[in-house]
C-alpha cells in the first residue's frame, strides 16, 4: 500500500467515489506502487458484478460503422480490419431506439461484448456462414474457436491464437440441444489453424457448442469425461 | 453504464467509443490471471466515464428517466455466477442505506460530494459510511 495515500483509497477509486484529483493521485501512485495496483485490481474483481444491475441491452447496428471507423484510425498495426457482429445481440426486428435507450444500450453493450471482443482479436474475420458460434472460455480472456455451420451441416472450425493444450490431451467438441440431458460428440478441435468436422448428428433445435478437455483421441465413453472449458451458442445471422 | 455515469447522451457516446477503442487496443495485454474479462472491461468503461464526467464538472443535466432508487436494492442480477453471488451476500450484510450508497456510487458514479448532496447528509458522514462499507466488503469477500 502506498505510503502517501489513505489505506482504502484503492476501493474508493474503483467504487468511483473520489474526486478528479484524488482519482489522478491513485492512478499515479498505482503506476509506481505494484502493491497498490494489485489492490486496485482486487477491488475491480470484487465489485465488477455490480455492473449487472444496469439491465443488459442490445447494441444498435448503426453503432458498428462508427466504431469500425474509430478502430481503423486508432488501431494501427494491431488492429484487424473487421468486427464480428453479434447477431444474437441485435434487437429483434431492429426497431429504432429512443436516444436514451440507444446510448444506454451502447454503453452497456460495451460490457456485453466482453467475450466477443477478445475473440474478435484472434479470429480476425467475420463469419460467412448463416449459422455460427464463438466458442469461448467460460471466463473469456484469450482465445477460442469460430465455428461456422455449412449448408450440409459440416462444421468449419477456426482456432484463435495461443490455445494451450498438453501433449496427451485433446479438445473435443459437443453439441448440446436445448433441454437435452446429454451432448452429442462432434469431433476433435484443432489448437491452431482450421479444420472441417463432418457432423451427421447436429441437433435440429436450438443448441450450444461445448468443448471439453479429453484424453488424446477424444472421450472413450461418448460423453465428456473432462471439464467443459469452452462454450458458445449457435446463432443465425 | 457510461450513460448512467455521465447522464448525458453525448458524453456517454464518447465514453462508449473510448472504452471500445481502448479495449480493442489492449485486449492482447489482458491477463486472465489478474482478473476476469468482465472486471477488466467494466473498470475500463467506468474509468473513462468517470474521467469525462469529473472533467465536465458538476453542472450535469439529470438523467431523462430518473433512476428508481428501489433498483439499487434489487440484487438478483448479481446471481449469474459465484463471484456475483458472493458479492450479493456480502452486500446484504450491510445496513440497507449503507448498501445503497455503495451501489449508487458504483452504478451512477457519484462522488462522495455528489452523494452528500443527493441525500442531504454531511460529507464526513458519507465518507465514513462508505469507508466502513468497503472495509466490511473486503473482510467478507477476502481476496
The model's pLDDT over B55-94, given as tens digits with 9 standing for 90+, comes to 665 544 444 444 555 666 778 888 878 888 999 999 999 9
Counting the structural domains of chain B, the total is 2
Same domain assignment for residues A134 and A212: yes
Counting the structural domains of chain A, the total is 3
Q: Band the pLDDT of A174: cuts 50, 70, 90.
A: very high
Domain that holds residue A135: 123-236
Answer whether B56's CB lies under 8 Å from B10's CB: no
Residues 50-69 of B with CB under 8 A from A: 50-51, 54-55, 64-65
ipTM over 0.95: no
Of B65, B86, B112, at which residue does a domain stop? Answer: B65
CA A227/CA A165 separation, integer angstroms: 13
Same domain assignment for residues B117 and B47: no
- Beta-carbon separation of B24 and A79 below 8 A: yes
Note whether A19 contacts B: Cβ–Cβ < 8 A: yes
> Residue A202 pLDDT > 60, yes or no?
yes
Q: What pLDDT was estimated at residue A197?
A: 92
Same domain assignment for residues B91 and B112: yes
pLDDT tens digits along B115-139: 888 888 899 999 999 999 999 999 9
Same domain assignment for residues B139 and B77: yes
HSE (side-chain half, CA atoms, 13 Å) at A195:
16
Among A46, A103, A121, whose Cβ lies nearest the Cβ of B141?
Answer: A46
Same domain assignment for residues A141 and A72: no
Q: Across B25-141, where does the E strand assignment appear?
A: none
Amino acid at each position: 500500500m502506498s505510503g502517501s495515500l489513505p489505506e482504502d483509497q484503492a476501493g474508493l477509486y474503483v467504487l468511483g467515489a473520489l474526486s478528479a484529483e484524488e482519482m489522478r493521485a491513485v492512478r499515479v501512485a498505482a503506476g509506481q506502487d505494484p502493491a497498490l495496483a494489485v489492490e486496485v485490481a482486487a477491488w475491480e474483481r470484487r465489485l465488477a458484478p455490480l455492473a449487472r444491475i444496469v439491465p443488459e441491452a442490445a447494441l444498435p447496428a448503426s453503432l458498428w460503422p462508427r466504431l469500425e471507423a474509430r478502430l481503423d484510425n486508432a488501431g494501427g498495426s494491431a488492429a484487424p480490419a473487421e468486427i464480428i457482429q453479434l447477431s444474437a445481440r441485435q434487437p429483434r426486428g431492429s426497431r429504432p431506439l429512443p436516444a436514451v435507450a440507444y446510448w444506454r444500450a451502447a454503453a452497456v453493450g460495451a460490457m456485453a461484448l466482453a467475450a466477443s471482443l477478445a475473440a474478435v482479436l484472434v479470429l480476425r474475420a467475420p463469419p460467412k456462414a448463416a449459422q455460427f458460434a464463438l466458442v469461448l472460455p467460460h471466463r473469456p480472456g484469450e482465445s477460442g474457436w469460430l465455428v461456422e455451420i455449412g449448408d450440409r451441416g459440416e462444421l468449419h472450425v477456426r482456432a484463435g491464437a495461443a490455445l494451450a493444450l498438453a501433449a496427451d490431451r485433446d479438445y473435443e467438441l459437443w453439441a448440446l440441444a436445448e433441454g437435452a440431458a446429454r451432448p452429442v460428440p462432434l469431433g476433435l478441435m484443432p489448437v491452431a489453424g482450421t479444420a472441417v468436422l463432418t457432423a451427421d448428428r447436429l441437433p435440429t433445435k436450438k443448441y450450444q457448442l461445448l468443448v471439453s478437455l479429453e484424453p488424446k483421441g477424444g472421450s472413450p465413453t461418448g460423453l465428456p469425461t473432462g471439464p467443459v472449458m469452452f462454450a458458445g451458442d449457435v446463432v443465425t445471422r | 453504464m457510461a450513460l448512467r455515469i455521465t447522464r448525458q447522451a453525448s458524453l456517454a457516446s464518447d465514453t462508449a467509443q473510448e472504452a471500445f477503442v481502448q479495449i480493442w487496443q489492449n485486449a492482447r495485454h489482458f491477463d486472465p490471471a489478474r482478473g476476469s474479462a468482465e472486471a477488466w472491461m467494466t473498470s475500463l468503461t467506468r474509468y473513462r466515464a468517470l474521467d469525462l464526467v469529473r472533467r465536465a464538472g458538476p453542472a450535469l443535466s439529470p438523467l431523462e428517466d430518473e433512476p428508481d432508487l428501489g433498483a439499487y436494492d434489487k440484487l438478483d442480477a448479481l446471481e449469474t455466477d459465484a463471484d456475483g453471488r458472493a458479492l450479493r451476500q456480502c452486500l446484504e450484510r450491510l445496513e440497507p442505506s449503507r448498501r445503497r450508497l455503495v451501489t449508487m456510487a458504483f452504478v451512477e458514479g457519484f462522488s462522495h460530494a455528489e452523494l452528500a448532496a443527493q441525500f442531504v447528509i454531511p460529507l464526513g458522514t458519507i465518507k465514513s459510511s462508505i469507508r466502513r462499507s468497503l472495509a466490511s466488503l473486503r473482510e467478507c469477500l477476502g481476496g
